[in-house]
Structure 1
Amino acid sequence: MGFLSYMLCAILVVSSLVHGDLLVPALCIFGDSVVDAGNNNNLPTLIKANFLPYGRDFVMQEPTGRFCNGKLAADFTAEFLGFSSYPPAYLSEVAKGSNILNGVNFASAASGYYDNTAQLYQTMTLSQQLANYKEWQRNVVNLVGTDKANDTFSKGIHLLSAGTSDFIQNYYINPILNIVYTTDQFSNKLMNYYSSFIQNLYHLGARRIGVTSLPPTGCLPAAITLFGLGSNQCVTRLNQDAVSFNNKLNITSQNLKARLPGLKLVVFDIYNPLMDIIAKPTDSGFFDARKACCGTGTIETSFLCNERSIGTCSNATQYLFWDGFHPSEAANQILAQSLLQQGFDLIS
């Protein structure tokens, strides 16, 4: 992103914050645990974060179902866009009436592009999230009328975070998928699902869509534990798979933009910003980029992050990772700033 674009973006955001104006009419969020704001609280799944110490640094120091100690990158994004509240989890009690007019969060932890991934963990598939989005659209039409609703759909931002669970929580541990597909073939399969999802959103009136790339999956604390063969270093093979996937994501997105008139589709690179922090954590104010704050030690998985976790850090701002899979609030704020810079086209 050029300096001029960055300055224009910054001016827009500052103006929004000062005057209380919204840069866009709505923010709708789809995907996995990186953006789930509590939908899994209401599902028959073990993949939940509605208990302490999750949420200990959030508003009221209470767990909400966010897989973080505090705010998600999507929460910071909502603030940057001028919203006074965060898109409510679609399955929550507050997602009704006027509360849904500025967008809703449909994301579900352990979901992915491949519906089978969510089905393994009894969470919401991306297909179900899309069905819920259609229902949300109908409710918005009933509340404000067709014209205003269509304006909200076309000018609102739609964010998608998916893919990590497809690999870490499915492909890499699923012997059947390993036999049937090579990593390259599996990522191609995910690309087909991604392409269909974007086209479906487009045909429902969405025109501003942002999708996050895969992170350096081989550097997630849980991935190092599960696939690092005793090493304390990032798993090169997994990172190479992520880079290959991200290249395909960029190519597929360019093709979609060429085919769908008026579509603003931005691929947010989170791989490189995270790798920069991992390489030099102290430059970004972090003490540790290898261990997670919650459940620190040799074995790093999210299941070990609970009220009885031994060694959970006292100051999460010093850690890049909150648990074995998810960034801390401090890291999410840095990521959100990067997303804002990259996503100027979505708000211009």
Structure 2
Amino acid sequence: MKVRCILLLAVFLVARPTADCTKGSVPAIMFFGDSLVDVGNNDYIHTIVKANLPPYGRDFEGNVATGRFCNGMLLSDMIGEKLGFSSSPPAYLSPQAAGTNLLNGANFASAGSGYYDPTSLMYGLIPLSQQLKNFKEYISKLVAVAGSSQAQSIISDSLYILSSGSNDFAFNYYINPLLYKTLTTDHFADLLVGISIRTVTQLYGMGARRIGVFSVPPFGCFPLAITVFGFGSSKCVPGLNDDALRLNKKLNAAIDLLSKQLHDLKIEFLDIYTPVYILSTSPGSQGFTETRRACCGTGTVESTILLCNPKSTGTCPNATTYVYWDVLHPSEAANKVIVDSFAQSINQLVI
């Protein structure tokens, strides 16, 4: 088992002490969820939700589109970097997820997916339930590579990151009358939180003991949301952000309760709402200049290769000053701010 050292930066916009470099026993990382962490699984399934063409990846190593919904590195890449890994664990469906590469973990996420399986099935994505099945399959492969004893050690000592929930609201609940006419936003949030806790419990049952769960971001601040629901305003849509806050409050409370029930489980609520909201409403505070429009194309409706592609016009020359790369996803520069904001929470999981 390798001893890794985390260089943790000062937390974004709040007065907290810089964390010490901490030696942690994290041999691998496992990622589950959506586009905030998916490094390319969707490239290997039949779906329109892909990011495998330029300008996606234009600022990534090699300037190639890898399936990441970003101009460069994702949150998953940066978490791996902070934990001392030379690269992010590979997409589980990719050819790279084989042999000794499995020792560093794997990424099971599928861009566009949600906690609620029907959200994923609507768009031909990998449901969270299937991601867990893939993880179970991964364990078998890991045993074949490392042996039962080392595999068990890797599984129990690894860091697990779960990112989900946004798409359930944005691309299912808000547009699906079968949901919004039968369930209040509170009831739907309760449904999602229940699935999240069951997922964490299932991972725990398979050996996971260090789990970070992302909050949902302020999806009312996404450029697409402002374009569709802003009615000419250039500001975040309050009603959508209220739904995100309601879900986050319920999720945080449920995680806190679970941590008291499972005493050997290290679990942290990783707040991405706050840094994304601050970036979206006060971009200048961190050196950004544009938050209303995304970098790709006109910056108002472009996302996935259907609209953000080599034929997109007007894509910005420098994404480092843009909060959003496309109308739903942060730029690499914004991702760095987000990861720095919860560095101390990651530290609590790995020490």
Would you say same fold, with TM above 0.5?
A: yes
- Is the Cα–Cα contact under 8 Å of residues 57 and 65 in structure 2 kept in the other structure? yes
- 1:245 lines up with 2:247 in the alignment: yes
The AA in structure 2 aligned to 1:46 is I
1:203-253 deviation digits (Å, cap 9, x = unpaired): 000000001101111001111122223322211000000111000011110
Cα distance in structure 1, aligned partners of 2:166 and 2:178:
18
Counterpart Cα distance in 1 of 2:213 and 2:281: 24
TM-superposed CA distance for 1:299, in Å, is 3.7
Residue in 2 aligned with 1:114? 116
Is residue 29–residue 158 contact of structure 2 (8 Å, CA) maintained in 1?
Answer: yes
Q: How does 1:218-233 map to 2 (within 5 A)?
A: 218-233=220-235
Letter paired with 2:21: I
Q: 1:1-348 to 2 correspondence within 5 Å?
A: 6-7=17-18, 9-12=19-22, 24-302=26-304, 303-348=306-351
CA distance in 2, matches of 1:177, 1:295: 32
CA distance in 2, matches of 1:23, 1:291: 41
Distance in 1 separating the partners of 2:99 and 2:167 = 32
Q: Counterparts of 1:251 and 1:34 in 2: how far apart (Å)?
A: 23
Deviation at 1:178, TM superposition (A): 0.9
3-state DSSP class of the match of 1:251? helix
Distance of 2:255 and 2:299 partners within structure 1? 39
Change (3 A) 1:5 1:278: closer
- Is the contact made by 2:299 and 2:327 (CA closer than 8 Å) also made in structure 1? no
Q: Distance in 2 between matches of 1:6 and 1:284?
A: 19
Counterpart Cα distance in 1 of 2:263 and 2:146: 26
SS across alignment from 1:224: helix
2:220 and 2:238 in contact (8 A); partners too: yes
Alpha-carbon contact 2:223-2:299 (below 8 Å) kept = no
- Contact kept in structure 2, 1:195 and 1:252, CA below 8 Å: yes
**Greater Cα shift, 192-201 or 290-299:** 290-299
Structure-2 separation of matches of 1:107 and 1:55: 18
Shift of 1:169: 0.8
What is the aligned length?
Answer: 339
**Local SS of the residue matching 1:101:** helix
Give the alignment's Cα RMSD to 1 decimal: 1.8
What is the deviation of 1:306? 1.1
- The answer (yes or no) to whether the contact 2:56–2:68 under 8 Å persists in 1 is yes
Task: For residue 125 of structure 1, report the CA deviation from its aligned partner.
Answer: 0.2
Cα offset for 1:342? Answer: 2.3
- Cα distance in structure 2, aligned partners of 1:284 and 1:56: 23
Select between 137-146 and 34-43 the one with higher mean Cα deviation.
137-146
Any stretches of 5+ residues in structure 2 without a counterpart?
Answer: 1-9
C-alpha displacement at 1:300, in angstroms? 4.8
- Return the alpha-carbon distance in structure 2 between the equivalents of residues 224 and 148 of structure 1: 49
Contact 2:216 2:273 (8 Å CA) reproduced: yes
Name whichever structure is richer in helix by fraction: 1
